[in-house]
């Protein structure tokens, strides 16, 4: 089952991971998340008391479900499909690629030409992380695969704040949330909208 997600991650893919404990503490302190709960042998966090002040929903009247179901079977199914807003935290030493399955080709950061062989480059990088270099066939710019312009549909990182139940461009993180995350990494954080 797939869910729509708003994912926050450090803008710099070389940023070391934040510890899950630090991330949890910071997000609970500002009221984005509540106390940890379990679903399918995984930990999730219901929305906290200041969630709606930290995440800005766009549009006329978005329908937002914040309360998790009390029935364990419904909780598992609704979590997997993102039927209510809740948060998963993921921090790892290993650099990961997160993407929507229907993403458009990324762009060369120098000339903005579509990099059509990016899936081949990604597969080579996943098989051998030391092999992430590429060259633009249009302008000859060279760089690392993590520098490709995926816009807001994919990204590389070691620390992820995954908010399930948010459709593409339905919501944006507020300045207070981004500043709290920045205080952990001393660098900016970016936004992805994916379904996985």
pLDDT at 50 over 80: yes
Say if residue 73 is in the same domain as residue 159.
yes
Q: Is residue 142 part of a domain?
A: yes
Say if residue 119 is in the same domain as residue 189.
no
Q: Is residue 114 part of a domain?
A: yes
Q: What is the per-residue pLDDT for 149?
A: 86
pLDDT at 62 over 80: no
Percent residues over pLDDT 70 in the chain:
100
Per-residue pLDDT, averaged over 18-28, amounts to 97
Query: For the chain, what is the mean pLDDT?
Result: 93
Contact of 98 with 122, CB cutoff 8 Å: no
- The total domain count for the chain is 2
Q: Is residue 135 part of a domain?
A: yes
Say if residue 36 is in the same domain as residue 109.
no
Q: Is residue 125 part of a domain?
A: yes
Q: Is residue 170 part of a domain?
A: yes
Q: Is residue 99 part of a domain?
A: no
3-state SS class at 33:
strand
Q: What is the per-residue pLDDT for 60?
A: 74
Say if residue 79 is in the same domain as residue 31.
yes
Contact of 87 with 44, CB cutoff 8 Å: yes
Q: What is the per-residue pLDDT for 110?
A: 93
């Amino acid at each position: 089952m797939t869910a729509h997600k708003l994912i926050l991650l450090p803008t710099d893919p070389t940023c070391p991971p934040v510890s899950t404990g630090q991330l949890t503490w910071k997000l609970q302190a500002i009221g984005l998340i509540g106390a940890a709960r379990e679903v399918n042998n995984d930990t999730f966090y219901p929305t906290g008391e200041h969630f709606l002040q930290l995440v800005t929903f766009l549009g006329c009247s978005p329908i937002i479900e914040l309360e998790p179901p009390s029935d364990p079977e419904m909780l598992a199914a609704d979590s997997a499909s993102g039927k209510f807003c809740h948060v998963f935290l993921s921090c790892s030493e290993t650099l990961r690629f997160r993407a929507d399955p229907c993403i458009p080709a990324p762009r060369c950061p120098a000339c903005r030409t579509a990099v059509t062989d990016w899936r081949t480059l990604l597969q080579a990088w996943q098989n051998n992380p030391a092999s992430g270099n590429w060259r633009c066939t249009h302008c000859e710019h060279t760089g690392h695969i993590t520098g490709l312009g995926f816009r807001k549909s994919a990204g590389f990182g070691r620390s992820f704040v995954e908010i399930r139940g948010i459709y593409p461009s339905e919501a944006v993180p507020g300045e207070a949330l981004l500043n709290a995350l920045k205080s952990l990494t001393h660098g900016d954080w970016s936004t992805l909208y994916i379904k996985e």
